[in-house]
């Protein structure tokens, strides 16, 4: 099973076709939810696979999937299995890079725990702003969804899962491998529903 939001050379995978079956997940596959996105053809396959995994693994409840990687995506699937949409924001690394690339003098830093809430140096201030800013953003999104929906599960996944999970106020299901697990579940769903 192959899925990618980047530029993927399908031909490199097709060389394996004489050894095994290769399936590329696409928007044409069956999914266990109704896609209510206004522009369904623009919805990234990663977000679709995460929504499918959340729908299959956590049935009959409202689900918010937060994928914290290069970007932070928020994807909401209601208890009736309608994918309603979400949000896209810069991830931790992009925030550090943006501060460096779009200002005259701010240094490019690598991810680090803020020493204090109030930064007492430029580096400390950047770490506080980047890390605390994203944590407050995520908690803010969660609180807004909780104010609108009951029977709610929050799934945190992506490369920055472990770093962020212990900093969030809300109770979450943290699984950095949720996308890979969802890819497998999505493929199994396709096999059963083709």
Q: Which residues contact 12 (CB under 8 A, 6 or more apart)?
A: none
> Going along the chain, which residue ranges are E strands?
34-35, 62-68, 71-77, 82-90, 152-157, 173-174
Q: Give 134's Cβ-side CA count (13 Å radius).
A: 32
Q: Which residue has the tokens 């924001």?
A: 89
List 7, 29, 46, 194, catalytic entry: 46
Q: Determine whether 67 is an active site residue.
A: no
Q: Active-site positions?
A: 46
């Amino acid at each position: 099973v192959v899925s990618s939001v980047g530029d993927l050379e399908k031909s490199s995978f097709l060389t394996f076709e004489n050894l095994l079956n290769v399936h590329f997940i696409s928007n044409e596959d069956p999914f266990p939810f109704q896609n209510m996105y206004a522009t369904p053809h623009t919805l990234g396959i990663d977000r679709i696979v995460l929504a499918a995994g959340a729908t299959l693994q956590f049935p009959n409840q409202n689900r918010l999937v937060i994928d914290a990687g290069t970007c932070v995506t928020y994807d909401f699937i209601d208890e009736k299995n309608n994918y309603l949409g979400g949000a896209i924001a810069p991830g931790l690394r992009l925030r550090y890079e943006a501060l460096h690339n779009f200002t005259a003098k701010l240094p490019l830093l690598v991810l680090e725990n803020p020493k204090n809430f109030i930064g007492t140096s430029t580096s400390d201030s950047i770490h506080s702003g980047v890390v605390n800013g994203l944590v407050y953003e995520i908690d803010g999104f969660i609180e807004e969804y909780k104010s609108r929906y009951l029977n709610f599960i929050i799934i945190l996944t992506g490369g920055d899962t472990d770093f962020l999970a212990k900093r969030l106020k809300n109770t979450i299901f943290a699984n950095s491998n949720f996308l890979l697990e969802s890819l497998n579940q999505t493929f199994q769903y396709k096999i059963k529903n083709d």
